[in-house]
Amino acid sequence: MVRLIRESYAVVEPHADEVAKFFYGTLFSIAPHTRELFAANMEVQRSRLLRALVHVIQMVDKPDELLPFLQQLGRDHRKFGVVTQHYEAVGTALLASIKRYAGDSWTDQVERAWAEAYTVMASAMTEAAAADDGPAWYTGQVLHHERLSWDLAVVRVQTDHPAPYLPGQYVSVEVPQRPRMWRYLSPANAPSDDGVMEFHVRSVEGGWVSRAVVGHAQPGDQWRIGSPMGRLTVDRENSPDVLMVAGGTGVTPLRAIIDDLAQYGENPRVQLFYGGRTRDDLYDLENLRRIAMHNPWLTITAVLENDPNVDGVEHGTIADVVSRYGAWEGWDVLVSGSPAMIRATVSKMLVAGTTLDNIRYDPFTLD
């Protein structure tokens, strides 16, 4: 089944954008009521579908990793109002979309493999959603909005009940300026008793939500925050040494982990490579260096790609710099940043000899 799914998707992948459009067109045709679950602009939703699909295909032979991801996805989808009946229509649309672009590689055997795989996926998601007795989302109020630059803001939100996220996980948020346009953000702080979550948001090209948050969020706004997701976590008592690789605002989930570890005297050794194009991209560097001054287990290395006159940093792409240090044998590796940064870093590290099983990253990193 694994081989058939991967081989057939390899044929489909060059047409990924068309597959996503056909999928949602088919879904809204056979189940018109599902259209109201999504925002008018479907561009990001299509991209998110493809990333989820690719992530599942990458992990289809790793049930110990795939099952928790699907369970998190099922719990998160409750915020849309997704119910069990929707999964049949989604499965029909998915198989129809793969079949349309698979060409001659689509056979009865391939169809059975996809149908069986989707049945497993849907079962894991629906069972997790049904078993979760927590709210479908948490309501939060913006306490503070600080614009650090024209395209970057820090926002602090206090939820009515503390959201049960682990340091390093991410959550989906809906803001009043962009209703029904849920976006994934990573808290930059460890969970706190008062329920305050800090988000670092940078405007991205075409980013309807990010631009609204940076430019227009204000104290008193009511946000909705979905179930936590992600696997960029550290077990401080059992983890080996930890290599963290972050680009830009991708530092936020790793910062939350560091924030949590800083409460303890003894921790695994943590090496953070924090990269950007220019010095302005490393907006949190001084804060991280202050933390490192008081915590000998933490080392910070700044990396700049296009700012050669800055001293005290390494120069080059973050993928190249991290790989210069070797294979990082025996270390847990956490990578966070844009999809392009993650792809480049993981590829370079694999070439340098890092074991793939030691590398972790999340599929939803930029919206």
In this predicted structure, the answer to whether residue 84 has a pLDDT above a threshold of 90 is no
Number of other CB atoms surrounding residue 64 within 10 Å: 7
| Highest mean pLDDT (candidates 84-98, 111-125, 243-257) | 243-257
Most confident of 127-136, 252-261, 309-318: 252-261
Q: By C-alpha distance, which of 336, 249, 256 is closest to 291? A: 256
Q: What is the pLDDT of residue 348?
A: 95
The reported pLDDT for the residue numbered 271 is: 98
- Interaxial angle between packed helices 63-76 and 43-58, expressed in degrees from 0 to 180 and rounded to the nearest 10: 150
Q: Which of 18-27, 265-274, 279-288, 331-340 has the lowest mean pLDDT?
A: 18-27
Mean pLDDT score of the chain: 90
- Do residues 171 and 162 touch, judged by C-beta distance below 8 A? no
Q: In which band, very low, low, confident or very high, does the pLDDT at 352 lie, cut at 50, 70 and 90? A: very high
- Please give the average per-residue pLDDT across 27-31, as a whole number: 90
Is the pLDDT assigned to residue 220 strictly greater than 50? yes
Q: Which residue has the higher pLDDT, 197 or 72?
A: 197
pLDDT for residue 366 is more than 50: no
Better-scored residue on pLDDT, 54 or 219 = 219
Domains of the chain (ranges; CATH) run: 1-131 (1.10.490.10), 138-229 (2.40.30.10), 242-361 (3.40.50.80)
Pick the residue with more confidence: 91 or 56?
91
- Residue 169: how many CB atoms within 10 A of its CB? 23
CA pair distance 161, 158, nearest whole angstrom? 8
pLDDT of 365 > 60? The answer is: no
Report whether 223 contacts 175 (CB < 8 A): yes
pLDDT, position 50: 66
Q: Are 272 and 298 in contact (CB under 8 A)?
A: yes
CA distance from start to end of the chain: 32
What percent of the chain lies above the pLDDT cut of 70? 95
- Under the banding of pLDDT at 50, 70 and 90, the label for residue 68 is confident
β-strand partners of 298: 270
Q: What pTM value is reported for the model? A: 0.82
Residue 42: per-residue pLDDT: 64
Which one of 46-60, 114-128, 258-272 scores highest in mean pLDDT? Answer: 258-272
Partner residues linked to 299 by β-bridges: 271
- The answer, yes or no, to whether residue 188 has pLDDT greater than 60, is yes
Instruction: Indicate if the pLDDT at residue 208 is higher than 90.
Output: no
Give the residue-averaged pLDDT of 322-331: 95
Query: Poorest-confidence range of 123-132, 216-225, 284-293?
Result: 123-132
Burial of 226 (0-12, 13-18, 19+ CB in 10 A): buried
With contact defined as beta carbons under 8 Å apart, do 267 and 296 qualify?
no
20-24, 139-143, 356-360, 362-366 — which is least confidently predicted? 362-366
What pLDDT, on a 0 to 100 scale, did the predictor assign at position 242?
97
DSSP symbols for 208-259: HHHHHHHHH--TT-EEEE---B------TTT---EEEEEEGGGGHHHHHHHH
| Residue 58, pLDDT score | 74
Q: Residue 9's pLDDT is what? A: 87
Distance, C-alpha 260 to centroid of its chain: 19
Distance CA 6, CA 298 (A): 40
Closest to 284 (Cα-Cα) out of 364, 199, 347: 199
Worst-scoring range by mean pLDDT, 4-8, 241-245, 255-259, 350-354? 4-8
Residue 367 — very low, low, confident or very high, per pLDDT cuts 50/70/90? very low
